[in-house]
Structure 1
Amino acid sequence: MTALQVLPKIRRDAVDRPRRRGSVSATQRRAAWLMVAPAGLHALIWIAVPVVATFVLSVTNYSVLEPLRFVGLGNYVTAFADPVFQASIVHTAVYTFFTVPVAMAIAVFLAVLLNLQIQARSWYRAAYFLPQVTATVAVAMVWLQIYDPQNGLANKVLALLGITGPAWLADPGFALPSVIVVGIWQGIGIKMLIYLAALQNIPADLYEAAALDGANGWQRFRRITLPMLRPATFFVAVVSVISAFQVFDQVYVLTEGGPANATTMMTYEVYKSAFVNFQMGLACAKSVVLFVFLFGLTLLNRTLTGGRDED
């Protein structure tokens, strides 16, 4: 075989080789589907089916004890006409408005401090993150003791300053701020961890160059740290807002929505409609309203981040 005969064969092999390397055989394809099947089945049974059922039941009078009957948008009209549910939307928005930015600001401050070379840095990181991995019910029980009007730590500290402390969880004027404080305290840990990871990805050369240019600590923080933390901030903000809209455990343990519905939240109203009043259709309608809020927040996140993932 001459060189002229061999050359076309080499060219064909060079063209065919990438295609053969990138091709997927039927066996590999079946193996891939088998590996994906458990997760897909889980998502179908425990996510997709309940979501579809929620939308379907939200337009019925489903109450477990009565025959199913289509009521159209009646549940939504009932929900929005209920002053308690209206108040729950306001309380959830207020809770989110205060817990998210305050916790984020504290988390940034702590992350910057814990990114420095200080003694027992790992211990401090674990201590601040501990509330995040502690059961919310356990956290709420601790704060229930702190807020005790007779023997609670909060009023004892105020007594040392000559101030008579209020009945934190029994006073409508103090109940919601008290729940907000618990939400801020428990949410700092995960936000701090995310910011800490983002800080460690900032090149040290930027700070060194800024220091050579005469920038002080505040200028370096404002001109370098904050802009470089922007992607983490978008992520933390959206996740935190979604989490705040789903607050339930601490409200259930601390106040049960009281006093006088002063701390009732959207999720707590869904719980009461479903498992106290057994109005499952109404509960599903309220769940759909909550879903719309969360879906809107997700779209807002995509808008703020340019509507695309970073490469």
Structure 2
Amino acid sequence: MTAIKTEVAGRTAAPPPRAPRRRAQGLQGSRKRAGWVMLAPALVHAAVFLLLPMVMLVALSFTDYQFLGAYHWVGIDNFVQLMSDDRWRTALLNTVLYTVVTVPIAMAVALLIALGLNSGIRARGAMRVLYYMPQVTATVAVATVWLWIYQPDVGLANSVLGLFGLPPQGWLTNPNLSLPSLMLVGVWQGLGAKMVVYLAALQSVSRDQLEAAQLDGANRWQTFWNVTWPALGPAHFFVFVTSTIASFQVFDLVFVMTKGGPGSSSTVMTYEIYENAFQGLQLGYAAAQSVVLVVLIGVFTLIGLRLQKVSSDV
């Protein structure tokens, strides 16, 4: 009886093993500190080169600051002036039109190319490299090549038209053709990156679902629409957002090929900001234009996020 009581008392008096738990908590805390230390350079870089310039941009948008000159607080006068600036309204319309046209067309063509390269065609590796080459080529070089293609007298585009008996066109000198000509170059140059994203997404589609659809008697279109297309939802969202941001920021093509002309038929928001900031030295006004550009990019990004959620819910 005494031995049993001693054993029970020994069991109840035994201390709980807290040392391993403390070591685990200490290890977790060390990992968190190490993670913050490794993130510190990136966070400092983002704060100095992204967050601080953004705050300064917003602050300058409410001033009449000019380069090396005094500046005064003007409130929302810059934004009010934007509403009555015909050239800015034209640049805004051209930018939105450029984005609305180039993004869906480039996405559709890139998806078709990815579908073709994902099939069992020959020389798939070489074809992928060829389609991706414009993406890694300097935009100035691309624009120079297309300047020759659009050249009125000996350019390739008018030479092709001549084969069909059509008159030559002023691709970059006609106000009705300058912006569509830039759209064509933008679509062509951006196909590579979109194609790579879609190709990676296609290769991750479940083979079991594809085989199950074929066994159920589904044709190619039904298999694509019911199996492949839903699986590409994240790829659609990524391509849409990155393409929209790139389209709103188009500058090099306009600067090299048209300088926003003829007139203001091909001017875009970034080129208008460049002219006001670095040629007119109206940095406060250019800052207000930049704020509007950032807001528009955010709106289109939110639209893409909303569409992605709707498609995923369906």
Tell me the TM-score normalized by structure 2: 0.91
Which of residues 272, 277, 282 is equivalent to 2:280?
Answer: 277
Q: Secondary structure of the residue that 1:263 maps to in structure 2?
A: coil
CA distance in 1, matches of 2:207, 2:200: 14
For 1:223, the equivalent position in structure 2 comes to: 226
Displacement of 1:36? 2.2
Q: Alpha carbons of 1:248 and 1:20: their partners in 2 closer, same or farther (altered >3 Å)?
A: same
* Within-5 A mapping of 1:295-306: 295-306=298-309
Q: Structure 1's 69 and 7: CA in aligned 2 closer, same or farther, altered over 3 A?
A: same
Larger radius of gyration: 2
Identity of aligned residues (%): 45
Q: Aligned residue for 1:52?
A: 55
**Stretches of structure 2 lacking an aligned partner (at least 5 in a row):** 1-5
Q: Does 1:183 pair with 2:186?
A: yes
Aligned with residue 78 of structure 1, among 78, 81, 86: 81
Secondary structure at 2:177's aligned position in 1?
helix
Matched, 1:199 2:202: yes
Deviation at 1:17, TM superposition (A): 3.1
Match of 1:164 among 167, 174, 178: 167
- What RMSD over aligned residues (CA atoms) do the two structures have, in Å? 2.3
| CA deviation after TM superposition for structure 1 residue 80, in Å | 2.0
Give the letter aligned to residue 38 of structure 2.
Answer: M
Which residue does 1:99 correspond to in 2?
102
Quote the Cα distance in structure 2 between the aligned partners of 1:29 and 1:203. 36
- Contact between 2:148 and 2:156, CA under 8 Å: does it hold in 1? yes
Compared CA separation, residues 74 and 160, structure 1 to 2 (3 A)? same
Change (3 A) 1:24 1:255: same
- Aligned positions, number: 307
2:26 corresponds to which residue? 23
Q: Tell me how far apart the structure 2 counterparts of residues 18 and 305 of structure 1 sit (CA, whole Å).
A: 43
Among 137, 154, 157, the alignment partner of 2:157 is 154
**Which residue of 260, 265, 271 corresponds with 2:263?**
260
Counterpart for residue 43 of structure 1: 46
**Take 1:243 and 1:94, find their aligned partners in 2: how far apart are those partners?**
14
Measured against aligned partners, the alpha-carbon deviations of 1:1-31 in whole angstroms (never above 9, x if no partner) come to: 9697468758x32x66355324347766554
Match of 2:129 in 1: 126
For the Cα contact (< 8 Å) 2:64–2:282, is it kept in 1?
yes
Shift of 1:226: 1.2
2:116 maps to what in 1? 113
Aligned partner letter, 1:51? M
Cα distance, 1:53–1:207 mapped onto 2, change above 3 Å: same
Q: 1:29 to 1:225 in 2, by over 3 A?
A: closer
SS at match of 1:158: helix
What is the aligned partner in structure 2 of residue 88 from structure 1?
Answer: 91
* One-letter identity of the residue aligned with 2:131: Y
Distance 1:212 1:62, change over 3 A: same
1:136 aligns with 2:139: yes
Deviation at 1:216, TM superposition (A): 1.4
TM-fit CA distance, 1:267 = 0.7
Say which is worse superposed, 22-31 or 79-88, in terms of deviation: 22-31
Distance 2:284 2:13 in 1: 71
